[in-house]
Amino acid sequence: MQFCTLFSGSSGNAVFLSTERGALLVDCGMSAKQTLDAMKHAGLDPAMVHAILITHEHSDHVKGVGVMSRKLGIPVYATAGTWEGMGGALGELPDRNRVIITAGESFFLDDLEVAPFSIPHDANDPVGYRFFTGRHSVAVATDLGYFSQTVCDALSGAELILLESNHDPDMLKRNPHYPQHLKTRILGKKGHLSNDAGAEAAVRLAQCGARHLLLGHLSAENNTPDMAYRTAHAALTSAGAAVGEDVTLHVAARFQASLLYRV
């Protein structure tokens, strides 16, 4: 499998995943044009993309989905709750390109097994995804109010995980531009994972066999890539993991493709 983020952060998210048989996107939260440009810039062929899988209906995940689906003529996969939440946001799509999936029920796209799992987040029926092919598996787990047992179980043993490290709680609490209700929402159990909570999750995942951790969905205002990295690095190191040897650690850029992983 090849895996990278094209965009990551509260301003827009998209993940590219390919096997020898084809590729898919998880979310398309920037415009279709920006996403196609990002793929081309990273040397990835948009014609390979056969599906778009949605995590949940928030605009930073779905903004470009409708146009992308129409441009490429490809189906969109989402839970029933997410379809309801997206309402008319996607515009017209033929019924054959509207696929309903269920958290906890795996399905196949070509040779790729897709396992959607429930995540704690303030959306109708949000999911993360784990992908399996042969012996290898990778996973996407962002927009997590907390690192629930369901999420932990779903990710256990994955080699490569895109893991949320959204904010520094002190920066968030001090931010004068954020109203209190938004702070409460982000810090709540259906909000977003802080750097510390992400770091704690990173340690557990490394202990469960993760070899590559990619931190993502950083807040633009309440975090920095350096803070997210240092927090996870410190936690992994103090748990006895050699970063760069036992496990690699990177931060997904907001507006640029990440490293292209091959597992």
Find residue 164's DSSP bridge partners: 216
The residue from 4, 36, 46, 58 that contacts Zn ion (CB under 5 A) is: 58
**Whole-Å CA distances, 19 to 102, 206, 225, 231:** 23, 24, 29, 32
CA atoms of 203 and 191, how far apart (whole Å): 21
Near Zn ion by CB under 5 A, which window of 78-86, 136-144, 220-228, 249-257? Answer: 136-144
Q: Kindly state whether residue 143 participates in binding Zn ion, applying the rule CB under 5 A.
A: yes
Closest approach of Zn ion to the CB of residue 56, in Å: 6
Q: Kindly state whether residue 168 participates in binding Zn ion, applying the rule CB under 5 A.
A: no
- Residues 200-219, one symbol each (x = binds Zn ion by CB under 5 A, - = not), give --------------------
- List, as own/partner pairs, every contact residues 255-259 make where C-beta atoms lie below 8 angstroms and the sequence separation is at least 24, other chains included: 255/7, 255/11, 256/38, 257/4, 257/5, 257/6, 257/16, 257/38, 257/41, 257/42, 257/44, 258/4, 258/5, 258/8, 258/214, 258/216, 259/4, 259/214
CA atoms of 262 and 242, how far apart (whole Å): 21
Q: Which is nearer to Zn ion, 50 or 56 (CB)?
A: 56
Near Zn ion by CB under 5 A, which window of 55-63, 144-152, 226-234, 244-252? Answer: 55-63
Q: Kindly state whether residue 192 participates in binding Zn ion, applying the rule CB under 5 A.
A: no
Q: Kindly state whether residue 60 participates in binding Zn ion, applying the rule CB under 5 A.
A: yes
3-state secondary structure of 99: strand
Nearest residue to the partner Zn ion, using Cβ: 58
Closest approach of Zn ion to the CB of residue 178, in Å: 16
Near Zn ion by CB under 5 A, which window of 54-62, 73-81, 86-94, 111-119? Answer: 54-62
Binding site for Zn ion (CB under 5 A): 58, 60, 143
